[in-house]
Chain A
Amino acid sequence: MNIYEQYLRGPMMPHIWCSGCGNGIVLKALLRAIHRLNVSRDDLCMVSGIGCSSRLPGYVDFNTLHTTHGRALAFATGLKLARPHMTVVVISGDGDALAIGGNHFIHAARRNIDLTLILFNNFIYGMTGGQCSPTTPLERLATTAPYGQIEPPFDVCRLAEAAGATYVARGTAYHASQLDRLIEGGIRSRGFSVIEVLVPCPTIYGRRNRLGDGVAMLKWQKENAVEVRAARKLDPNELEGKVVTGVLFTAQRPEYCQEYERMMARVQGKGERGL
């Protein structure tokens, strides 16, 4: 048996993702990372919001929670606080995590709660048919930006770092084996981890913007990704239009659930208990 099958829910197949979509590559990287981490699957929970990538938890045999649009991190926060020993991975897309869920994103980072967010960035709302998202690059076409996007995009990783995340990484669907390591590192890191993954969406984003099929879009990732150590040696103008990948930022900061436990121990140690 290959390592993937043991984690997949057979009856949920086939999945909803289009041919050429990068989501399946990320799913496999995620399962490789989990396999290596050797976490008990009873202790593993996957929480997602709404969108193509957010269907992922349905396909895997863990405790899985497919929530409302943008709210995955807030559901995950309640679950993690209730059961701090659980490993909680959150699956979200660019629209889900950064538009409707933007508030939960920055506050999960600020708290540094021990969740690992895998943010599937395909630059578009795929499931609803191709509307622009908070990561759609300038001038790109979308059904709701038919004359080209005029709003500047978020830089997911800089946003995560500024808001307080303590592990921030970027990968691509093309660089699949680098991706396992980034995800593994994120889950190992005790605090709020964000792994932005660039995924090709040939059906919706690629077609409208004439970026070619799934293979062509992966090729673009291959040619334009620069590993962070290599990127540090380059001038800013040499990095123009490139995608910097790898672990971009880490920090040591108190984790929310641990701080809560500490506070509880403190208040229980003195004063009158209970009612």
Chain B
Amino acid sequence: MQELRNARKKVVRLLQGNEACVEGALVAGARFFAGYPITPSSEIAERFAEKLPRLGGKFIQMEDEIGAMAAVIGASLGGLKAITATSGPGFSLKVENIGFACMAEIPCVVVNVMRGGPSTGLPTSPGQADVMQARWGTHGDHPTIALCPSSVKETFDLTVLSFNLAERFRVPVILLMDEIVGHMREKIELPDPAEIEIVDRKKPSVPPQEYLPYQNDPTDIPPLANFGEGYRFHVTGLSHDERGYPTTDPAVVAALQARLLRKIERYRKEIVRYETVNLRGARVAVFSFGSVARSAKLAIREARDMGIAAGLFRPLTLWPFPEEEIEEISREVEWILVAEMNLGQMVFEVERCSRGRAKIARVNKADGEAITPEEILLRIQEVAG
């Protein structure tokens, strides 16, 4: 009887991807959102505006996208898990301070609900043309973690994961949704928050006078103290030493840059996530992500029905790119068919990693319409001859 009472009632909701993102963030512990209105991500800001004050969290609509990214970093330094959400044009403005977060190693989450570009493009239509911007949008060498969900439930899960990775690695994590995933409604069962793994940033264990916020830690991820808790330290976007003090000493600068890349590179296996469907014995592997992968799943099933051995590789982690996995697939399949809602971006990564071992084909579309299962199937049939 007692057990029955303790058992959590199933929480089932009909949610939009954008709404699921907020639910995931709140479960992950997000208590700060700063944003600016932009289609197709505004529902994220709106739901945070409603929910955060009730939970004792902070919501602010800033004067622009740049300021929103800045406020998120300020709040994170103050110790709150912080998030912002936008779409392509807003992301273009945020890249300035995303670079600051990379350099200063401030955990935060940036959602880009991708629409059609370039420029104002197609505000209400889906796109996947910001994947390279997510990787290289901000200037300078820097690592990137970017995740890409295909469903409403996965948006929830990957939002939680975004926070966990941000806190674990002291980096900004980019959640690349697209308009279809953001606006589509699906029934999802919300997991029991008690069963979800939540990661919090590592705090210093040394007394304040010994604290080095940018220490060349053996883990490559130095602990981060919150402002206002007795650890007074300096944070700057300038190249800095272990104390955070600006420096132009080439050896110190080189060590910092190397660590910033290494702290993601060496944990690649822990970060990279993907799904495979029917890849064993496949002649054609479809590579697709986000909403396009939904069409791809149907296409490979129909191809199988027609007797073509087709499978799917769906990265949930776009960055760091699943290099080893693609390398392995390229040894086993004849074709890799990259289907993406842009005019060819991730295909170059696939080409790079397959090094000519597999032939590469594409399905590209960036006119605001979704890539259909038929379009992918047709291309599978063409290459499978």
Contacts and interface: CB of A to CB of B under 8 A. Distances in A.
The 10 closest A-B pairs by CB, nearest first: A78-B74, A78-B71, A82-B78, A74-B70, A74-B67, A79-B74, A82-B75, A66-B236, A107-B63, A78-B75
Nearest to B237: A68
Contacts of A57: 234
Contacts of B67: 71, 73-74, 77, 103-104, 107
Nearest to A271: B54
A178 B224 CA distance: 39
Interface size class, chain B: 35 or more
Nearest to B72: A78
Contacts of A66: 234-238, 246
Give the residue among A65, A74, A86, A274 with the most B Cβ atoms within 10 A: A74
Contacts of B136: none
A260 interface: yes
Contact of B96 (A61, A68, A264): A68
Given A67-B100, A268-B53, A104 B63 contact: yes
Interface string B320-351: 00000000000000000000000000000000
Nearest to A267: B53
Contacts of B58: 81-82, 260
A271 B50 CA distance: 12
Contacts of A258: none
A176 B58 CA distance: 39
A273 interface: yes
29 contacts: A11-B243, A11-B245, A12-B245, A45-B227, A63-B232, A65-B235, A66-B246, A71-B67, A71-B96, A74-B66, A74-B70, A74-B74, A75-B70, A77-B70, A78-B34, A78-B71, A78-B76, A78-B78, A78-B82, A79-B227, A82-B77, A85-B228, A103-B67, A104-B63, A107-B62, A268-B56, A271-B54, A274-B54, A275-B23
Contact of B75 (A11, A79, A107, A271): A79
Give the residue among B68, B190, B227 with the most A Cβ atoms within 10 A: B227
A43 to B, nearest CB: 6
A28 interface: no
A86 B80 CA distance: 14
A45 B231 CA distance: 12
Given A11-B245, A267-B54, A103 B74 contact: no
Contacts of B23: 275
A140 B78 CA distance: 42
B55 interface: yes
A275 B26 contact: yes
Contacts of A43: 228
A36 B76 CA distance: 30
Contacts of B56: 264, 268
A61 B71 CA distance: 23
A257 B58 CA distance: 10
B186 to A, nearest CB: 18
A268 B57 CA distance: 11
Nearest to B64: A103
Interface string A12-32: 100000000000000000000
B193 to A, nearest CB: 8
Contacts of B295: none
Contacts of B313: none
Interface in A78-121: 78-83, 85-86, 103-104, 106-107
A68 B228 contact: no
A64 interface: yes
B63 A68 contact: no
B167 to A, nearest CB: 15
A83 B53 contact: no
Contacts of B237: 66-68
A36 to B, nearest CB: 20
Contacts of A240: none
A214 interface: no
A11 B234 CA distance: 12
A164 interface: no
A82 B32 contact: yes
Given A63-B232, A275-B26, A82 B79 contact: yes
A63 B208 CA distance: 12
Given A85-B228, A86-B78, A275-B26, 9 more contacts: A42-B229, A42-B232, A63-B232, A75-B71, A81-B60, A81-B75, A82-B76, A82-B78, A260-B53
A14 B36 CA distance: 41
B233 A64 contact: yes
B213 to A, nearest CB: 11
A83 B74 CA distance: 10
A240 B243 CA distance: 49
B11 to A, nearest CB: 8
B232 A79 contact: no
A86 B227 contact: yes
A134 to B, nearest CB: 17
A43 B60 CA distance: 22
B97 interface: yes
B197 to A, nearest CB: 18
A33 interface: no
Contacts of A76: 74
A75 B73 contact: yes
B13 to A, nearest CB: 10
A77 B232 CA distance: 19
Given A42-B229, A61-B232, A63-B232, A71 B66 contact: yes
A62 interface: yes
Given A77-B60, A268-B54, A65 B77 contact: yes
B230 interface: yes
Given A43-B228, A47-B74, A78 B54 contact: no
